[in-house]
Amino acid sequence: MIIHAVLNNKKLKAENHVNDPVKTAFGNNALPTWEDFQIFLEDRCVPRQRAGLREYLEAIGLGEYDPVEIIRKTAGRMSEDNQWLDMVKLK
């Protein structure tokens, strides 16, 4: 799946390149909203309620909980799957 997101304009376009909706960011949702995108990003991050969150953020070099920045640092990797995110900043 390729997600084109313009963060400052909150514009989103998703291109699905797999047949299994479980392996897509938005399931069967062909027209995800900006809110859907925000939920997806948080799902690929450490939970906001995690014990020791402040220490975790400090360890990865962040001063606050910001899903975009967390994913830039961690590639959105989760222990329970082999998927990751590659965030590319276009000029």
Contacting residues for 39 by C-beta, under 8 A, at least 6 apart: none
pLDDT tens track for 24-67: 888 888 889 999 999 999 999 999 999 999 999 999 999 999 99
Instruction: Report pTM.
Output: 0.81
The phi and psi torsions of 48 (rounded to 5 degrees) equal -60, -30
Q: Which of 37, 49, 30 is nearest to 76 (CA)?
A: 37
Q: Where are the domains of the chain?
A: 1-32, 44-91
**Residue 23: which pLDDT band, with cuts at 50, 70 and 90?**
confident
